[in-house]
Structure 1
Amino acid sequence: MIDARCRCGAVALSLPGPIKMVAACHCIDCQRRTGAPFGVGAFYPAEVVTISGAPKEYVRAADSGGKVRSYFCPECGSTVYWKADNLPAMIGVAVGAIADPNFPAPIRSVFEQSKHAWIEIEVAGVEHLQQGSMRKSSS
């Protein structure tokens, strides 16, 4: 098991281990959520994630027309995880909250139309998308 947690430790997730479903998102909302030029999330099936603490929820409209619910620590303000209407069985976990420099790299880079020009994600095999989608693409 691995931990993801906020800065102060009041909100924590227990995860079964690293997962390959990792995405870098360059949408404006992720930029504002993280305070960085992009966010990186690891997506886990909801049933394998254990949540402790009492996070605060922030709900916003997504570009897809659904809602995204971000969960952050009411004490230190760190966003730890989120849930999106378009992926109801999954929980997105902020890779920074996992704090493991050996965590797997993104397999997708999404919403690249709002990517900062100086950002280059050049991981072998990464899928680059203008819009966002964590659904498997047909090849």
Structure 2
Amino acid sequence: MVTRIAKCTCGQLQIVVEGEPLGVGVCHCFACQSRTGSVFAALAAFSPDYRVSGRATDYIRTGDQGARFRFRFCPVCGSNLYHTEEGEEHRSVAVAVGAFADPDFPPPQDSVYDCRRHRWVKLPDGVTVYEKDPE
């Protein structure tokens, strides 16, 4: 079984996940753009059997559909490392793909909030595109 480690910029906070991602996606919503400081967020979902070490600061955001997401940030360097959906923690954890520092990480399968995608961002072939959140 594959073990992957994602770390914040300073290395103080890390998450260890097992196995292949349940899914990989990108989100172009304005909240993700603001949260990441980039034009989209790249996230990978994993089974809830994960281990976290280090201290995290939490931020809860309510999504467009009413779901509440708990984002974990490193209080030292400010990196956003992972998040869970409140009430759904037993289903999965979403980890920032860039925090794995692995250029061979699997590409996204889904892209949400395409209505807010910067027009110069090109998606890989075969990505399923949703105008907003499909849920």
Q: Give me the TM-score of the superposition, normalised by structure 1.
A: 0.88
Match of 1:110 in 2: 112
Q: CA RMSD in A?
A: 1.6
Say whether 1:75 aligns with 2:79.
Answer: no
Aligned equivalent of 1:25, options 3, 9, 27: 27
Q: CA deviation at 1:118?
A: 0.9
Match of 2:54 in 1: 53
Match of 1:130 in 2: 131
Say whether 1:99 aligns with 2:101.
Answer: yes
1:105–1:20 Cα change, 3 Å: farther
Q: Equivalent pairs: percent with the same residue?
A: 36
Equivalents in 2 of 1:91, 1:81: separation in Å? 7
Letter in 1 for 2:71: S
1:119–1:71 Cα change, 3 Å: same
Match of 1:16 in 2: 18
Instruction: List structure 1 runs of 4+ shifted beyond 3 angstroms.
Output: 85-88
Match of 1:35 in 2: 37
Q: CA deviation at 1:122?
A: 2.4
Q: CA deviation at 1:4?
A: 0.3
Equivalents in 2 of 1:126, 1:77: separation in Å? 30
Cα deviation 1:25-79 (Å, max 9, x = unaligned): 0010110011000000000111x21111110000111111121111000000000
Q: Is the 8 A contact 2:13 2:54 kept in 1?
A: yes
Q: Is the 8 A contact 1:55 1:72 kept in 2?
A: yes
Q: Give me the TM-score of the superposition, normalised by structure 2.
A: 0.91
Letter in 2 for 1:60: R
Q: Is the 8 A contact 1:22 1:104 kept in 2?
A: yes
Aligned length: 132
